[in-house]
């Protein structure tokens, strides 16, 4: 196993480095110190062809100008916060309304738009990187100085783990995730409509017209949101279910796992034979099928279009202090926020 690094660009006169982790099986993961962005994951298909299975740009300026959060860590709080404000201990916290009138994925200067300090990690069984960023008190409106560490580790079982840790000096809110867009066809040969998703979840969160959860937990059984036995993603893209239509003819929803503790998500592309087995300790995953990706730009030589990738954003339930049955992601000074999500890639179909 090894790690290499190259200069990828500059922002505000700071160098943006691309690090590439390679295991003994030939799998590699490339990422930036800018937003901890995962730019490439190269894995074999059933015939041994090694290809990229995430969406990313070849030039750094495209990440600045065009990226819909490709591959980055988002925070302090993933998702949308209604009217860009919340109340904490009786006081209103006004956040940046970067998606008027709401707050999205941490704001304009969220974790997705800053340089992180980085250092290499090498053990007997893995190679990786440790990223660190201090979000200062008041940044984007959030209270407290928040020290966040993100650890990427790649092992010889074709397994990439992402561990999130955060500490604060004031009570605050934290809800972190990685926003990679997966496409298991390899090098964007096809869209994700024929991908099959399987997970054990019996409920999903209803969205309003701003794509913010209303607080209602809806039953998934007998709807396009039931993935217990595996479901083609195109079934939601072509669905007349009001929630699929509202999201732009697809998915942009919190799928809530049926049980607490570690849960598993399986994504499969039968044509390539690739399978992603994802495990997480988070209570839900936001499934987004890139319903609004279409644009006048290219992604590694492929014209941007809807459904070209699928996001599996593991995270806590959405931060909404108006919904008392949602356990808000509060972090106190004497606590540590910690979560881990692991992505394991196979060159054969499993679990479906």
**Cα 84 from chain centroid?**
21
Over residues 161-184, mean pLDDT: 97
User: Running DSSP on this structure, what letter comes out for residue 96?
Assistant: P
- Verify whether residue 165 is a known catalytic residue: no
Structure-token match 């969406």, residue found: 55
In angstroms, how far is the first alpha carbon of the chain from the final one?
31
- Verify whether residue 10 is a known catalytic residue: no
Per-residue pLDDT tens over the stretch 5-34: 999 999 999 999 999 999 999 899 999 999
**Of 103, 179, 195, 254, catalytic:** 179
Per-residue pLDDT tens over the stretch 209-266: 999 999 899 999 999 999 999 999 999 999 999 999 999 999 999 999 999 999 999 9
* pLDDT score recorded for residue 317: 87
Give which of 351, 187, 342 is closest to 272, Cα–Cα.
Answer: 187
* pLDDT score recorded for residue 322: 47
Q: Are 128 and 154 in contact (CB under 8 A)?
A: yes
**Of 51, 139, 140, 313, catalytic:** 313
Structure-token match 């955060």, residue found: 166
| 3-class SS letters over 53-88 | CECCCCCHHHHHHCCCCCCCEECCECCEEHHHEEEE
DSSP string, 214-233: EEEEEE-TTSTT--TT-EET
Q: What is the residue-averaged pLDDT of the chain? A: 95
Per-residue pLDDT tens over the stretch 98-115: 999 999 999 999 999 999
User: Rounded to 5 degrees, what angle do the CA atoms 155, 233, 199 make?
Assistant: 55
Q: Are 83 and 210 in contact (CB under 8 A)?
A: no
pLDDT category of residue 321 using cuts at 50, 70 and 90: very low
Domain limits, the chain: 2-346
pLDDT greater than 60 at residue 68 = yes
* Gap between the Cα atoms of 342 and 324, Å rounded: 30
pLDDT greater than 70 at residue 352 = no
pLDDT greater than 80 at residue 319 = no
* pLDDT score recorded for residue 327: 56
pLDDT category of residue 323 using cuts at 50, 70 and 90: low
Kindly report the CATH number that applies to the domain delimited by 2-346. 2.70.98.10
* pLDDT score recorded for residue 197: 98
């Amino acid at each position: 196993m090894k790690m290499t690094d190259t200069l990828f660009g500059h922002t505000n006169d700071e160098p943006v480095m691309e690090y590439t982790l390679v295991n003994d099986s030939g799998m590699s993961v490339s990422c930036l110190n800018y937003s901890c962005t995962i730019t490439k994951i190269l894995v074999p298909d059933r015939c041994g062809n090694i290809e990229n299975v995430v969406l990313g740009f070849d030039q750094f300026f495209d990440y600045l100008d065009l990226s819909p959060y490709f591959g980055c860590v988002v925070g302090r709080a993933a998702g949308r916060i209604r009217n860009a404000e919340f109340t904490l201990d009786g006081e209103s916290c006004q956040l940046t309304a970067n998606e008027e009138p709401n707050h999205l994925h941490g704001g304009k200067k969220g974790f997705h738009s800053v340089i992180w300090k980085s250092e290499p990690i090498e053990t007997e069984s893995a190679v990786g990187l440790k990223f660190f960023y201090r979000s200062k008190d008041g940044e984007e409106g959030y209270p407290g100085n928040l020290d966040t560490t993100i650890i990427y580790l790649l092992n010889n079982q074709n397994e990439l783990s992402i561990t999130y840790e955060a500490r604060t000096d004031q009570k605050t809110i934290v809800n972190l995730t990685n926003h990679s867009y997966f496409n298991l066809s390899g090098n964007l040969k096809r869209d994700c409509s024929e991908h099959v998703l399987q997970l054990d979840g019996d409920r999903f969160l209803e969205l309003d017209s701003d794509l913010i959860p209303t607080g209602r937990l809806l039953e998934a059984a007998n709807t396009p949101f039931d993935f217990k036995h595996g479901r083609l993603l195109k079934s939601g893209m072509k669905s007349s279910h009001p929630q699929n239509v509202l999201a732009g003819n697809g998915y942009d929803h919190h799928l809530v796992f049926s049980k607490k503790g570690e849960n598993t998500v399986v994504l499969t592309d039968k044509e390539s034979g690739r399978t992603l087995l994802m495990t997480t300790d988070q209570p839900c995953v936001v499934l987004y099928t890139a319903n609004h990706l279409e644009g006048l730009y290219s992604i590694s030589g492929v014209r941007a279009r809807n459904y070209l990738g699928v996001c599996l954003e593991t995270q806590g339930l959405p931060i909404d202090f108006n919904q008392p049955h949602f356990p808000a992601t509060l972090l106190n000074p004497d606590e540590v926020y910690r979560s881990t999500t692991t992505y394991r890639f196979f060159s054969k179909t499993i679990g479906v």
